């Protein structure tokens, strides 16, 4: 059974966490489903933006399901569970399309890390954020001590990770982690996305790549991707390909 759904609304793709019985906590299958959907979205040129939502009214996502990782050996936990989750969340962060997470309820642990991998976040008035891993004897493993520190003040991250405190919506808004707070966060997200969908998809994609490069989010790949895009538009590139196909020496013009 799938617990991560992909739907389309015109140029908008919606990813929905659908495991409400477990407060949308991640299982191995959910990570795999999310990864597959992200690959599909990246290849689909008709998609211009992405909204990440969750079903139920109890939580956005409470992180990783302890029943999914509690029985793993130390090697399995480190090599597969943590690294696979990190890789998939990185995939979300590095999508070429703009993304907005709709935090309809608490976002704890991996749920907070998932939200942090999106470009923007909107939050329900009564929702909260937390990094509760130390309470079950583990540490944040899906970028909670890394990417999150680029989006929140260090003392606030420490307050969650070291002291077990929850951050309410108003504080998340004040520090800039969320773009808006309200009783209907989906409506807030749609307002942001409607504007994004009216912009040039290529200009948005390149702007996102440049911003991420400045923040060291996959900088090496971003630099080479931008350089490759620039060279692909040159006459020299066309001549090089044609010469290879015709088995002759290329005559480059520098254009």
Q: Which residues are catalytic?
A: 113, 133
187 to 14, 55, 180: CA distances (angstroms): 14, 15, 11
101: its two tokens: 């997470």
Query: 226, 227, 253: which is closest to 238 by C-alpha?
Result: 253
- The number of residues making up the chain comes to 255
Backbone torsions φ then ψ of 201, nearest 5 degrees: -60, -40
At 16, is the secondary structure helix, strand, or coil? Answer: strand
Query: 226, 192, 195, 196: which is closest to 209 by C-alpha?
Result: 226
Query: 187, 165, 179, 182: which is closest to 115 by C-alpha?
Result: 179
């Amino acid at each position: 059974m799938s617990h991560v759904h992909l739907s389309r609304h015109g140029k908008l793709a919606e990813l929905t966490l659908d495991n409400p019985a477990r407060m949308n906590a991640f299982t191995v299958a959910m990570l795999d489903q999310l990864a597959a959907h992200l690959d599909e979205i990246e290849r689909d040129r008709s998609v211009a933006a992405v909204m990440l939502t969750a079903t139920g009214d109890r939580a956005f996502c409470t992180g990783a399901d302890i029943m999914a990782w509690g029985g793993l050996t130390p090697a399995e936990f480190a090599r597969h569970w943590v690294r696979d989750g990190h890789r998939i969340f990185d995939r979300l962060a590095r999508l070429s399309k703009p993304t907005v997470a709709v935090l309809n309820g608490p976002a704890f642990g991996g749920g907070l890390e998932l939200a942090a991998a999106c470009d923007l976040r909107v939050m329900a008035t009564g929702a909260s954020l937390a990094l509760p891993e130390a309470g079950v004897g583990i540490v944040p493993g899906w970028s909670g001590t890394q990417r999150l520190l680029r989006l929140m003040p260090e003392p606030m991250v420490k307050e969650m990770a070291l002291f077990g405190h929850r951050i309410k919506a108003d504080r998340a808004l004040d520090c800039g982690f969320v773009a808006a707070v309200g009783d209907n966060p989906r409506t807030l997200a749609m307002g942001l996305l409607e504007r994004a969908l009216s912009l040039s998809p290529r200009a948005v994609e390149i702007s996102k790549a440049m911003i991420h490069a400045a923040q060291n989010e996959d900088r090496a790949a971003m630099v080479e991707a931008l350089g490759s895009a620039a060279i692909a538009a040159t006459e020299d590139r066309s001549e090089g390909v044609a010469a290879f196909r015709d088995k002759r020496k290329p005559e480059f013009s520098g254009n």
